[in-house]
Chains A and B, each alone.
Chain A
Amino acid sequence: MTYGYALADLCICAAAEAWRHDGEVLATGITPIPRLAAGLAKLTFNDALLMTDSEAFFVSEPVPLGPRNGYQPKFEGWASYARTFDLLWGGKRHAFVLPTQIDRFGQANISVVGDHARPKTALLGSRGYPGNSVHHPNSYFLPTHNKRAFVAGEVDFVSAAGYNPARWPDGKKPPELDLRLIVSNLAVLDFEGPDHAIRVRSLHPGVSFEDVQDKTGFALEKAPGLAQTPAPTPAQLDLIRTRLDPLGLRLGVFKDDSDGAFVATKEPA
């Protein structure tokens, strides 16, 4: 028996893996795919995760994305910004966020494209990236895998620290610097190559290692046993569709995405 799923679903399931072994930490997923991934991780394999309503409260189950239509968040604690900083400086958080650029060191940028004093494109500003990157684990989602996002050399402005000893204080790795996963529209990557070099860990269906390398501005390592990114299971799809994103907002993340973008085969019971 076969069933369909979207590229968004594939990325959500791949990104959820980031929190599998984290235990009781705050899972912060910014923008729809990472946020839905955090919710999926909590509902499936790590129910100890802390999450918030993206405003000021901890919630004991993930809040559906978008308009609530009567859904009442299940509050369990106060998550003011001041408390969030206290928490994150203590390291008990794993954030999955969306930078504009990333480089071979895992350094990430959401500040500017071009010159910092007079940028070609002004983005948000570095937000919490600098502090996050040296205080707790981080993973990154880049929806468009190309050489403008995965840049040659260094990112235009290093908002988030990476594995670049030349920038480390006294040349020593900041003790809590810990980059985990990158999920893109083409592949899942990690930092487990030599000296934390970025590796392709799995390829999305129909994508080759060479495709990913061609669209990346730096040389990639190939993980041993490089395989295809696992298809979402019917149970995962059910949670995504009915509980986490009932309005289907995830389908707007990638161009031309749909529930039937890919087809998987369900093994007979």
Chain B
Amino acid sequence: MIDKQIGLSAFVASLRDGMTIGIGGWATRRKPMTLVRAIARSGLKDLTVVSYGGPDVGILAAEGKIRKLVFGFVSLDHIPLDPHFRAARQAGAFEILELDEGMVHWGLRAAAMHLPFLPSRSGLATDIANQPELKTIRSPYADGELLLAMPALRLDAALIHVHRADRHGNALILGPDPFFDELMARAAERTYISTERLVSTEDLAIAENARFNPFERSVVQGVILAPFGAHPTVATPDYGIDMAHLKEYAASAAPGAWQEYRARFIAVEPERYLASVGGAENLGALPAPIY
């Protein structure tokens, strides 16, 4: 069977400038941060990013990687506003398509179904619907209702962080919420999963864990081993949220502070990163977040 395990450099090398990249997770929850940091320190540019945004968007914004952002929000949850996102937005640093959270879901679902759009009421009667990329469509049935035609959000690549995977792309998301990672994977030409642990197919114990299996391996093209690969975001049950690091990250938006943060946490390979943020033992003891 196909061995899909690749390293971070092969992952980055498979991406191209100008791609549309979907990033899984939600705000500060199970974000594929090892993959995001690898993109941040690469030469990639002009990306269109689709995300339920958290520090993934903030880091890519701070590094000037984003040409266009497709989003419903960007938040650090306990710190409501990501300061890097905020600064970039206020500088007009990239184009945006602002959507309702549910419209992001719907656009991914349309792409996953290979449909051009899905009808929706969400966004109607608001300024969301006034963005030129969004069109309406009239129901052909007796109701004749005017609906928003949410266009498919087709992705060149989806990045998803999972708890367990085998080399073939069979995966488990063990956390309390799989978010819309399944749809991201199905909406994408290529899906890359980073995993806390690489295990044998047998050790996935699928009979017991079937409901944690988000999608079938045929949608996965690359598997990257990335212990603590969601840090500083939460990946329960393996580890909680690193609020101290998120505060340090937020503080790095102060004038002149980003270069230091970048040098310590972005420009380094995962092993150095892990040591810089306190080591595996400490990260394993991070508390679960309370929302």
Contacts and interface: CB of A to CB of B under 8 A. Distances in A.
Interface string A157-168: 111111010011
A56 B177 contact: yes
Interface string B113-134: 0000000111111111000000
B145 to A, nearest CB: 8
Contact of A131 (B53, B73, B123, B176): B123
A160 B136 CA distance: 18
A133 B92 contact: no
| Tier of interface size on chain A | 35 or more
B191 interface: no
Interface in B68-92: 71-75, 80-81, 85-86, 89-92
A169 interface: yes
B290 A81 contact: no
B122 A134 contact: yes
Contact of B26 (A81, A107, A121): A81
B228 interface: no
Given A56-B176, A158-B127, A129 B100 contact: yes
A81 B177 contact: yes
Contacts of A128: 72, 100-102
Interface residues of B, number: 44
A80 B26 CA distance: 11
Contact of B136 (A66, A124, A135, A169): A169
Nearest to A131: B122
A80 B170 CA distance: 22
A124 B73 contact: yes
B89 A130 contact: no
Contact of B74 (A125, A130, A160, A176): A125
Contact of B127 (A85, A120, A159): A159
Interface stretch (A13-21, A111-119, A140-148, A189-197): A111-119
A57 interface: yes
Interface in B85-115: 85-86, 89-92, 96, 98-103, 105
Given A124-B75, A129-B100, A55 B121 contact: no
A167 to B, nearest CB: 5
B215 interface: no
Interface in A201-245: none
A126 B105 CA distance: 14
B121 A125 contact: no
Interface in B172-220: 176-180
23 contacts: A54-B291, A55-B289, A66-B290, A67-B290, A68-B290, A82-B180, A122-B85, A122-B89, A125-B53, A125-B73, A125-B74, A126-B73, A126-B100, A127-B72, A127-B100, A130-B100, A130-B126, A135-B121, A158-B127, A159-B126, A161-B124, A168-B125, A177-B125
